[in-house]
């Protein structure tokens, strides 16, 4: 296999990978964001506020 053939194959593989990653990014952009992170953050903040309130009251 000559150097130019390897170079062409490498370039084609690079372009294919770039195209696939862009397609994946487009699919993710269409999907609505997950609310799990917001729920975890909200519950964590509520727990911390509850602990602070208990410590201040006692």
pLDDT value of position 54 = 95
pLDDT digits 0-9 by tens, 1-58: 688 999 999 999 999 999 999 999 999 889 888 899 999 999 999 999 999 999 999 8
Instruction: Please tell me the predicted confidence (pLDDT) of residue 17.
Output: 97
Q: Which residue has the tokens 């150097």?
A: 3
Three-state secondary-structure class, residue 16: helix
Q: pLDDT at position 25, please?
A: 94
- Give the span between the Cα atoms of 17 and 11, in whole angstroms: 10
pLDDT of residue 41: 97
Domain boundaries defined on the chain: 3-57
Return the pLDDT at 47.
98
Q: In terms of Cα–Cα distance, which of 41, 21, 18 is closest to 10?
A: 18
Q: What is the DSSP letter of 35?
A: S
DSSP letter (8 states) at residue 33: P
């Amino acid at each position: 296999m000559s150097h130019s053939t390897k170079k062409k194959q490498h370039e084609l593989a690079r372009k294919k990978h770039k195209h696939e990653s862009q397609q994946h990014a487009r699919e993710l952009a269409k999907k609505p964001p997950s609310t799990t992170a917001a729920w975890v953050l909200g519950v964590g903040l509520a727990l911390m506020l509850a602990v602070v309130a208990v410590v201040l009251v006692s």
